[in-house]
Structure 1
Amino acid sequence: MAKLVSSWSKDIKSLPENYVFPPDQRPKELVAPLYNPPIVDLTKSADEARQKILEAGRDFGFFQVMNHGISQSLINEAMDVLKEFFDMPAEVKASAFTADSSKRCRLYTSTFQYDTEEVHFWRDNLTHPCHPLEDCLQLWPEKPTRYRDIVGKYSVEVRKLVLKILDLICEGLELEQGYFGDELSRIHLLSVNHYPRCPDPSLAMGMQRHCDPNVVTILFQGDTNGLHVFSDGKWIGVEPIPNAFIVIIGCQLQIISNNKLKSAEHRVVTNSEVDRTTIGYFVIPSYECFVEPAKTLVDEHNPAIYKACQYKEFLSTYANENGKYETLMEFYKLQT
């Protein structure tokens, strides 16, 4: 438990050596602002929402969703209880702490390879399944006492949002109704990242440059900057929009769309002013599921770009490549 950054970071004045990244891996001082951020307003017509989603997915690999129907009070309560969790004494969090990735509810620091890493990421993470809710609640932390109630309500509402977004994507790509049901969205995980204030953000990293291996990620990043997306050869900062969710296209959606949508390569930087907590909701295929370009998107004029691949095999390649977007996606391209 002494490994958790949140357990000891408030007591130090300088960054420990094993958190200092080599110069070529550190965040750059200059990050380009995104002057026209991709925003989808769900109070607009379905046609307009679909068009905005497809354009954003093609050009950026992510977009922000506004007017989504999830109350600000519920979002605030969820953020409060998750921050409270990370603020609890280490001995209270001990029951959830494990580096064993097979555990369904796990609290860990940096990555699962912590013991073999040369340099650690400045973050703690709590991950657990969140659907079906009745099968998951007993796995979740018992403290804070309102954790299961509030996070349960939050998970239910975010699931409704993600299903609505997947329906819009399905319609926009002209796929058969319910295409993303069943095996392609079998697993729903809540992944909470906590980045304590850092004594020297210029030397540290919250998360490495990577893409998400899943279908889609719904992220609430609160009101503190930290997420960067790589676009057109430069890093852009994703400014928080009050009460908005960020939707990140995953690698499986890029494959299914036959490159009509692209996965967003992203990273996380730290700051020295405030702790930053984000809530990620991951939609993941079953491990046995085979993913390939949708048949309706492939014809003689639009040949399949990617080969069919079992998701568990993709995850293995993802781990071997450390989530590197270009090498990973190139590996699954069909030879032409």
Structure 2
Amino acid sequence: MAKLLSSRCGIQSVVPETYLLPPEQRPGELVAPPCKTIPVIDLEGDRNEVILEIIKASQEYGFFQLINHGVAEELMKDVLVVAKEFFDLPVEEKERFYSEDPHDQGCRLRTSIDFANEKFHFWRDSLRHLCHPLKDQIHHWPENPARYRGVFGPYSEEVRSLGLRVLDLICEGLGLESGYFKGGLSQGQLMIANYYPSCPNPNLVLGLPKHGDPHLITLLNQGYVPGLEVWNNEQWVAAEPIPNAFVVNINHKLQIISNGKLKSADHRVVTSTNVARTTVASFILPSTDTLIEPAKSLISELSPPLYKSFTSGDFDKIYVLDVHQGKDPLERFRIRS
């Protein structure tokens, strides 16, 4: 358990050698400028306008921020507080959730991404668990802090409802048949609470490396502490925190289903010398046996399929390996002309 950064806070005066990135991968001293151009979409706006804004943002950035989304501000704050309370627990309270298996689908706590196999580690601890159906998953979650299940339960249901609502708008915007994303394509929900401690030298490490998310969509509650950076127009730009907003991004499998019409943008997380950062990410994901392929209604003679068909589980098996090796997982499934 000494591997957990959250169990060593306050005693880490230098970056351990195993966390030092190769020079070409370090963020360095340059701070990415806050990006005022990442679209901010008001979900209470005119429905047709909202759909157009979501599709445009998903094509140009792969990211947008969502306001007036219906999830209570108090609940968004509470889930971040409770997540931090978990990471502040004594080691013995956390150790039963610890696992280094990147394919373990239970409620598990880990540091970095794949600690046992990666060449160098990332400056993050994370607690991840499935959320849907809630009644089947909640008993696997921590009982300490005492409020954990009482806060994360309602939060996961509200965020799932919001995620499905966004997928319905994307479905309409792409011209897919109504309900396209229901059933197996959106059967799962994964929640990850991330903790990025303050770092002695943020120039030498990353909280998370450059990557795209593997599922359908991500809804990130990033609170008020910056750290998320998006790769856009050949540069890193910071996704500026907006009070009570979700950062929404398109995932790899949704890019494939859209036949490349939507963009799964690469992003990373940088750290800070002065402040720790806690975030909670929710992912809508397909069941492992669900077929992932370009939607047939988006295929034509002028728009041939760009990707092969595969099961969601097949993609998940190679995703972590490719991210570690700096490869784009989508390339394995791209159809070469």
What TM-score, normalized to structure 1?
A: 0.96
Q: What is the Cα deviation at residue 103 of structure 1?
A: 4.3
Corresponding residue number in structure 2 for 1:277: 278
- Is the 8 Å Cα contact of residues 7 and 90 (structure 2) preserved in structure 1? yes
Corresponding residue number in structure 1 for 2:8: 8
The question of 1:102 aligning with 2:104 is answered yes
Q: What is the Cα deviation at residue 323 of structure 1?
A: 6.5
Corresponding residue number in structure 2 for 1:83: 84
Distance between the aligned counterparts of 1:290 and 1:15, measured in 2? 43
The question of 1:31 aligning with 2:32 is answered yes
Corresponding residue number in structure 2 for 1:264: 265
* Equivalent AA in structure 2 for residue 147 of structure 1: Y
Seq. identity, %: 45
Q: What is the Cα deviation at residue 233 of structure 1?
A: 0.8
> What CA deviation, in whole Å up to 9, does each residue of 1:207-240 have, x standing for no partner?
0111111111111111011001111111111000
Distance between the aligned counterparts of 2:66 and 2:36, measured in 1? 17
- Between stretches 288-297 and 92-101, larger displacement belongs to 92-101
- Is the 8 Å Cα contact of residues 222 and 278 (structure 1) preserved in structure 2? yes
- Between stretches 297-306 and 237-246, larger displacement belongs to 297-306
Corresponding residue number in structure 1 for 2:171: 170
Q: What is the Cα deviation at residue 14 of structure 1?
A: 1.5
- Is the 8 Å Cα contact of residues 105 and 130 (structure 2) preserved in structure 1? no
SS in 1 for 2:9: helix
The question of 1:43 aligning with 2:44 is answered yes
Corresponding residue number in structure 2 for 1:234: 235
SS in 2 for 1:241: coil
Distance between the aligned counterparts of 1:319 and 1:116, measured in 2? 11
Unaligned residue ranges in structure 1 (runs of 5+): none
Q: What is the Cα deviation at residue 243 of structure 1?
A: 0.4
- Is the 8 Å Cα contact of residues 211 and 324 (structure 1) preserved in structure 2? no
Q: What is the Cα deviation at residue 324 of structure 1?
A: 7.3
Distance between the aligned counterparts of 1:144 and 1:254, measured in 2? 37
Distance between the aligned counterparts of 2:318 and 2:95, measured in 1? 32
SS in 2 for 1:188: strand
Distance between the aligned counterparts of 1:279 and 1:40, measured in 2? 20
Unaligned residue ranges in structure 2 (runs of 5+): none
Distance between the aligned counterparts of 2:91 and 2:31, measured in 1? 36
What TM-score, normalized to structure 2?
A: 0.96
Q: Is the alpha carbon distance of 1:160 and 1:103 closer, same or farther for their aligned partners in structure 2, counting shifts above 3 Å?
A: closer
- Between stretches 24-33 and 203-212, larger displacement belongs to 24-33
SS in 2 for 1:321: helix
Q: What is the Cα deviation at residue 30 of structure 1?
A: 4.0
- Between stretches 116-125 and 324-333, larger displacement belongs to 324-333
Matches for 1:166-205 after TM superposition, within 5 Å: 166-205=167-206
Distance between the aligned counterparts of 2:31 and 2:225, measured in 1? 17
- Is the 8 Å Cα contact of residues 225 and 240 (structure 1) preserved in structure 2? yes
- Is the 8 Å Cα contact of residues 160 and 284 (structure 2) preserved in structure 1? no
> What CA deviation, in whole Å up to 9, does each residue of 1:7-46 have, x standing for no partner?
0131121211111111101014142432322111011011
Q: Is the alpha carbon distance of 1:21 and 1:161 closer, same or farther for their aligned partners in structure 2, counting shifts above 3 Å?
A: same
Q: What is the Cα deviation at residue 305 of structure 1?
A: 1.2
- Is the 8 Å Cα contact of residues 211 and 325 (structure 1) preserved in structure 2? no
Matches for 1:203-242 after TM superposition, within 5 Å: 203-242=204-243
SS in 2 for 1:202: helix
Corresponding residue number in structure 1 for 2:21: 21
Q: What is the Cα deviation at residue 317 of structure 1?
A: 2.9
Q: What is the Cα deviation at residue 115 of structure 1?
A: 2.3
Q: Is the alpha carbon distance of 1:323 and 1:21 closer, same or farther for their aligned partners in structure 2, counting shifts above 3 Å?
A: closer
Q: Is the alpha carbon distance of 1:303 and 1:325 closer, same or farther for their aligned partners in structure 2, counting shifts above 3 Å?
A: farther
RMSD: 1.4
Corresponding residue number in structure 2 for 1:158: 159
> What CA deviation, in whole Å up to 9, does each residue of 1:21-80 have, x standing for no partner?
111010141424323221110110110110011000000011100000111111111111
SS in 1 for 2:248: strand
* Equivalent AA in structure 1 for residue 73 of structure 2: Q
Q: Is the alpha carbon distance of 1:324 and 1:41 closer, same or farther for their aligned partners in structure 2, counting shifts above 3 Å?
A: farther
Corresponding residue number in structure 2 for 1:289: 290
Q: What is the Cα deviation at residue 330 of structure 1?
A: 2.6
- Is the 8 Å Cα contact of residues 221 and 280 (structure 2) preserved in structure 1? yes
* Equivalent AA in structure 1 for residue 328 of structure 2: T
SS in 1 for 2:81: helix
SS in 2 for 1:35: coil
4+ long deviations beyond 6 Å: 323-326
- Is the 8 Å Cα contact of residues 42 and 66 (structure 1) preserved in structure 2? yes
